[in-house]
Amino acid sequence: GCLGPALTQISLEHLEVKEVESTAEKDAAYSLHLSKNTFYEERGLVEFRIYSGELCQCRTWVLVQPGMASPTPGLARFNGLSGGLNSLVGGLNALTGAALADASGLGAGTSVAGGSSGSRGGAAAAPGGAVGGRARASGGRRGGRGGWSCRGVSVAHGPVTRKSAAGPSTYFAAVTVRINNYKNRQGRWAQILNMSTRRERHGFGTMLIAGLEELLKVEDIDVVVLYPAENGRAPQFWASLGFGAHEVSFLPDEELVPHDQGGPLLPEFDTGSLIVLPRWEKRITGGPQGALDGDSAASAAAAAAAGYTRPVAKRGRGGRRRTAASHRTLPPSKSRVSGEPLLRAHEALMGSRARHKARQHAPAHPQGLTGSAAARRTATVVGEASEVALAPSQLCVGGVVHEVG
């Protein structure tokens, strides 16, 4: 279907995290979300968030490998045949020119195909001029620039160049996010509502979130919140990426007001017990002051990595800044990251994840080691885990290395 070909055809260099814009991209994100039982029960909400996101401040990004353009077999065979015909027609033209030159007594420097008769004129030049005129006209009409012509047959000189149709894109993961403006200061914060991967434990989710965080920084977003489903896997995954519950929230009190009470926050419930799930948070940029001025170093670096220069926000009455769009800085066509910037972001997130796992599994004092020796041993474990995770042609999830190149 729209999810694309087999997972064995993955090229890390061509992976891209991009905001959905076309109907095909939205269809792919919708299919990924509904492939999970967790989101199937709220499919109406999922559909609204993806297809009518501007009405509910929601935006969706996907991890995709765009279809690669390659010449079709039929076009390749045509180009080969064209080259052979060019050689044949060129030979026939040469033979025709030589025969006409002998018959009319023209000199060796006379160009019959070009219609030039040298020093001879009148009726004697007519045969050569007529043949040459037809050849030149035919070449201009059919063969075009650099064409050869003979007896009304014309083949372009050299291979035919045509734009090849790209193959189907492959979609690996999708995430839908609600964007909120801070009420009392400049900047934004985000809430992840739905996140799905085509295949778990292959590293697609980590790659998607790595790219997403880079793009959210460009949007002046400093804090991301979510409500992980209590199914064992989700809390473990999000904790490894730096999310967690905090006694003191990164968000101001006015941002923690639930939506049904007029606030921006969308609490989520366990479908069975209807108990509110714990809210987890992560700060992806510096402190609130960085978001206040909207020009933090992390945000500027992310903008440069994404190849986008943020416009200067205009000031409204009272000196308060106003963004060009209420809940976005980048248009969908610009909200994308791929290539080296995406790979660097993925490596950094995988390194953080490896350190988290090492701290989680390492005992406080390994047997036989105490004090500084135990600390050195822990650092060694972290370094080894990072090296495994950061292999350039691999994705690693849960300590399992997967070859994807």
Mind listing the pLDDT tens digit for each residue in 36-73? 888 988 999 999 999 999 999 999 999 999 987 654 44
What span, in angstroms and rounded, lies between the C-alpha atoms of 149 and 140?
9
Query: Which two three-digit tokens encode residue 265?
Result: 């926050």
Give the pLDDT confidence of 105-155 residue by residue, as tens digits: 434 433 333 333 333 334 333 334 443 444 434 344 333 333 333 333 333
Q: Tens digits of per-residue pLDDT, 299-346?
A: 455 555 545 444 444 444 444 444 445 899 999 999 999 999 999 999
Looking at the predicted structure, is the pLDDT value of residue 401 above 50? no
Q: Helix, strand, or coil here: 12?
A: helix
- On the 0-12 / 13-18 / 19+ scale of CB atoms within 10 A, 54 is exposed
Residues 6+ apart with CB under 8 A from 386: 350, 351, 354, 355
- Helix (H) / strand (E) element for 348: namely helix 339-361
Let me know: does 225 contact 279? Beta carbons within 8 Å.
Answer: yes
Rounded Cα–Cα distance for residues 42 and 30 (Å): 12
Residue 107 CA to residue 117 CA, distance in Å, equals 9
Distance of CA 328 to the CA centre of its chain: 18
DSSP letters spanning 15-56: -EEEE--SHHHHHHHHHHHHTSHHHHTTHHHHHHHHHTGGGT
* Nearest CA-CA partner of 170 in 67, 81, 69: 67
Q: Is the dihedral of CA 387, 390, 393, 399 positive or negative?
A: positive
> Dihedral sign, CA of 239, 243, 248, 253?
negative
Dihedral, CA of residue 16, residue 241, residue 256 and residue 229, to nearest 10: 90
* Extents of the domains making up the chain: 12-68+168-397, 73-155
- pLDDT category at 291 given cuts 50, 70, 90 is very low
* pLDDT recorded at residue 344: 97
* DSSP secondary structure letters along 161-208: --PPPB---EEEEEEEEEEEE-SSSS-EEEEEEEEEESSTTSSHHHHH
pTM of the model: 0.63
C-alpha closest to that of 237 among 170, 287, 274, 192: 192
The larger pLDDT score, comparing residue 139 to residue 266, is at 266
Homologous superfamily, domain 12-68+168-397: Gcn5-related N-acetyltransferase (GNAT) (3.40.630.30)
Q: Which residues contact 373 (CB under 8 A, 6 or more apart)?
A: none
Provide the CA 322 distance to its chain's centre, in angstroms: 29
* pLDDT, position 93: 57
CA 307 to chain centre: 13
